Amino acid sequence: MDDQAKAGIIRRLQSAEGHVRGIQRMVEEDKYCIDIIKQIEAVQAALGKINELILDNHLHTCVTTAIRGDDQTRREAVIGEILEVFAITNK
């Protein structure tokens, strides 16, 4: 992962971390449940975007390198990893 992509992902993770701490405070302060749920949904959406960015990077770097390479075992492994991620996601 290049430095710019990594920095962007780290910023997004730090933001999500701050939001999670905010949700914790909301629970501690007995805030309105629907407001808490909305904040949780926002964090989940943010994590989904982070996941998308990491997957995009992986496909454009690791997977592309493996597919273009001569190592058939590595090609099969990266394809298997992608399929595993989708299987987990679809549960």
Distance CA 15, CA 13 (A): 5
Domain range spanning residue 53?
A: 3-89
Distance CA 19, CA 57 (A): 25
* Six token digits for residue 75: 């090609």
Angle of the 3-28 helix axis to the 33-58 helix axis, nearest 10: 160
At 16-38, the pLDDT tens digits run: 999 999 999 999 999 999 999 99
CATH number, domain containing residue 49 = 1.20.58.1000
At 45-86, the pLDDT tens digits run: 999 999 999 999 999 998 999 989 999 999 999 999 999 988
* Six token digits for residue 77: 């492994």
What total of structural domains would you count in the chain?
1
Helices (H), the chain: 3-28, 33-58, 64-68, 72-89
* DSSP state at residue 2: -
Q: What pTM was estimated for this model as a whole?
A: 0.81
